[in-house]
Structure formats: structure tokens, C-alpha cells
């Protein structure tokens, strides 16, 4: 079954997400501002949710249309086949944004889309009240220059929340950005990576993951997506890719070393540049004597 998808991402990472999706076998990959559109089957949906390192979410494109008034928005959403995804007991909150459009009130747009979805499902299921006690399906919308896109979120917990760090600093770097920095710096398995101001170690952990160290991702939220699009395909893709599905850090990463807090340059021997002041980490240690260093 062919489906159209969208992968939101941080601005500037569209090319990385597009290349990553092409390597996964995606078709009709098109980069846009802050997101990448692509097409594929339900197996690709599971693969992207499990393996993507740069995308924030994986969304199913339910439809797109032009809307200048609330009536246009209402009728456009009401004409979408929402019953193919949302059941009579399911929960379907609405979230989105509007930029450079006639419909600029996000709260009003949320209310109109919710009302249109309810009216559509009322006519299909023949009920007057929805309890919304079942599976959660979040409807996302984007309105850009009066062009409306309606999405169905399949990810749940954002993909940048890897699950390997239960606690973090006050302002940690987003994991997808750290992964992009490692990719753009052409980090290779035989390189040695130094981060003198590592903070909570996001860049170094992502570098170790790029090397193939035993850091596991938590991507279990997608498994709750029901039917053939969720757990069934996630298990198949896990077996195909030999990638852990439930991701938690069960122990220390062998290739990452961190000094004690406030120690006086414990890594001076390992770091010939002597840039470290208080805290240092090294990841992806090189088997070669002539390893590149940062």
C-alpha cells in the first residue's frame, strides 16, 4: 500500500533527512522548509520511525488543499477519509501552526479542524458523542501561504528523544542536531572525537552511535500505532535491520570515557591539544595510530 509521508526536521537539516530517506528506499523525496516529503509503503513507515537519526517525526499525509476562510478549512478537512485511520473510540487531538496565511489564529484553526473531523466521523459511525478513550491519533496541520496540509502523527514521542539520557542539563543540545553535526563533519569510525565542552555529552554519544557502539534508541512509541502499520511492521524491520527496538542504555558505553566532575585535566594524556578545562569525553577511539582529532 503506497502512502505519502512527511518528516519534519530542524531548519537546515532537510538535505540530510532526504539522503537518509533515500537510503531507506523512499520514493519521490522532496525537501521543503523544515520538512521532507516522501512516499513508500508501511514497511518504510516502520523503518523510518526506527532508524531515522535526523527527523523529528514521521507523519502520514492525509491530504492538502487551499483555504482562505474557515469554511474552506472546514470543508477541506471534512472531505478527508479520516475513518480509514480513526476508530469510533479513538482519541484525536489537533495540533499545528499557521504562517503567512489568511487564517492566522492557530487556536481557531484547531477548533475548526476538530469540528470538521467530528462531523466527518459522525456521518460514518452514526454516533453523536465520541468518548475518545481508545488509541491516541494526533492530527497535525500546517498552513503556509494558504496551503493546508493535514497529517497523522505515527511517532508519538519525538524521535530526538533517544532514551539513553534520563536526565540532562538545563539547556541540552537536541540529539538530532548533534547527529547532524557528526554527519556534516564527516566523522568516520577510525577517527577520535573530542568535545572539550561536552555538557551532557550529546555530541559524543551521537558520534559513538554513528561508529556503531552499543547505544540503544528508545523507539517503542511507534509500536503502539495499531494494525499492520505499527507493531507488526516494527518487528519485521527490527529483524531485517538487526536494530534493537526497545531502546535503553543498559550499561556504560565501552568507547566513551568521562572524567569526574571538577577534576583537574584528567584527560591531558588522552588529549594532546589540552583544550579540556573541567570535563572531557572521548568517543569512537581509533584503532589507527594516525587518527584525526578535533
Q: Who contacts 114 (Cβ-Cβ below 8 Å, separation ≥6)?
A: 92, 94, 139
C-alpha cell belonging to residue 285 = 577511539
Ramachandran sector of residue 284 (left: φ over 0; alpha: ψ -120 to 50; beta: rest)? left
In terms of DSSP bridges, do strands 35-40 and 27-32 run parallel, antiparallel, or are they unpaired? antiparallel
Mean pLDDT (the chain) is: 79
Cβ neighbours, 10 Å, residue 38: 25
Q: In this predicted structure, what is the pLDDT of residue 82? A: 95
pLDDT at 104 over 80: yes
The answer to whether the CB of 50 falls within 8 A of the CB of 236 is: no
Q: What's the whole-number mean pLDDT along residues 162-191? A: 85
Give pLDDT tens digits for 70-92. 999 999 999 999 999 999 999 99
Of residues 224 and 91, which shows the higher confidence score? 91
Q: In this predicted structure, what is the pLDDT of residue 79? A: 96
Burial of 283 (0-12, 13-18, 19+ CB in 10 A): buried
Which H or E run contains 211? helix 202-211
Out of 14-23, 62-71, 161-170, 207-216, least confident range = 207-216
**Distance from C-alpha of 39 to C-alpha of 48, rounded to nearest angstrom:** 11
Among 72, 65, 294, 81, CA closest to 191: 294
Highest mean pLDDT out of 136-145, 158-167, 189-198, 281-290: 136-145
Q: In this predicted structure, what is the pLDDT of residue 255? A: 37
468518548: which residue's cell? 131
pLDDT at 122 over 80: yes
Among 172, 154, 152, CA closest to 162: 172
Please report the beta strands in 121-268, taking only residues with DSSP state E, as ranges in sequence order.
139-144, 147-153, 193-194, 257-258
Integer Rg of the chain from CA: 22
3-state helix, strand, coil in the chain (%, to 5): 30, 20, 50
Among 269, 66, 282, CA closest to 194: 282
C-alpha cell belonging to residue 227 = 494494525
Kindly report the length of the chain.
294
pLDDT at 251 over 70: no
Number of H helices, E strands in the chain: 7, 10
Which H or E run contains 114? helix 106-125
**Distance from C-alpha of 64 to C-alpha of 133, rounded to nearest angstrom:** 28
pLDDT at 236 over 80: no
In terms of DSSP bridges, do strands 257-258 and 147-153 run parallel, antiparallel, or are they unpaired? unpaired
Taking the CA atoms of 100, 102, 104 and 106 in sequence, report the sign of the dihedral they define: negative
Among 164, 144, 209, CA closest to 182: 209
**Distance from C-alpha of 255 to C-alpha of 287, rounded to nearest angstrom:** 12
The answer to whether the CB of 15 falls within 8 A of the CB of 205 is: no
Amino acid at each position: 500500500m503506497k502512502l505519502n509521508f512527511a518528516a519534519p526536521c530542524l531548519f537546515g537539516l532537510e538535505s540530510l533527512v532526504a539522503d537518509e530517506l533515500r537510503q531507506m528506499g523512499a520514493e519521490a523525496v522532496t525537501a521543503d522548509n523544515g520538512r521532507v516529503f516522501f512516499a513508500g509503503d508501511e514497511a518504510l513507515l516502520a523503518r523510518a520511525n526506527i532508524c531515522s537519526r535526523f527527523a523529528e517525526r514521521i507523519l502520514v499525509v492525509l491530504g492538502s488543499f487551499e483555504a482562505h476562510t474557515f469554511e474552506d478549512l472546514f470543508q477541506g478537512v471534512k472531505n478527508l477519509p479520516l475513518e480509514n485511520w480513526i476508530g469510533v473510540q479513538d482519541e484525536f487531538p489537533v495540533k499545528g501552526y499557521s504562517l503567512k496565511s489568511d487564517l492566522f489564529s492557530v487556536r481557531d484553526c484547531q477548533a475548526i479542524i476538530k469540528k470538521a473531523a467530528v462531523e466527518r466521523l459522525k456521518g460514518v459511525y452514526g454516533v453523536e458523542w465520541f468518548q475518545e478513550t481508545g488509541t491516541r491519533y494526533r492530527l497535525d496541520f500546517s498552513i503556509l501561504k494558504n496551503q493546508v496540509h493535514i497529517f497523522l502523527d505515527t511517532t508519538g514521542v519525538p524521535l530526538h528523544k533517544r532514551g539513553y539520557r534520563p536526565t540532562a542539563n538545563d539547556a541540552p543540545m537536541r540529539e538530532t542536531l548533534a547527529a547532524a553535526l557528526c554527519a556534516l563533519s564527516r566523522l568516520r569510525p577510525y577517527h577520535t572525537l573530542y568535545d572539550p565542552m561536552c555538557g551532557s555529552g550529546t555530541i559524543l554519544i551521537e558520534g559513538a552511535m554513528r561508529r556503531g557502539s552499543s547505544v540503544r534508541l528508545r523507539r517503542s512509541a511507534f509500536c503502539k500505532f495499531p494494525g499492520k502499520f505499527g507493531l507488526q511492521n516494527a518487528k519485521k524491520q527490527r529483524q531485517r535491520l538487526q536494530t534493537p527496538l526497545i531502546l535503553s542504555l543498559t550499561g556504560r558505553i565501552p568507547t566513551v570515557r568521562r572524567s569526574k566532575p571538577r577534576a583537574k585535566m584528567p584527560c591531558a594524556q588522552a588529549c594532546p591539544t589540552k583544550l579540556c578545562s573541567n570535563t572531557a569525553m572521548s568517543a569512537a577511539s581509533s584503532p589507527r595510530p594516525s587518527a584525526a582529532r578535533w
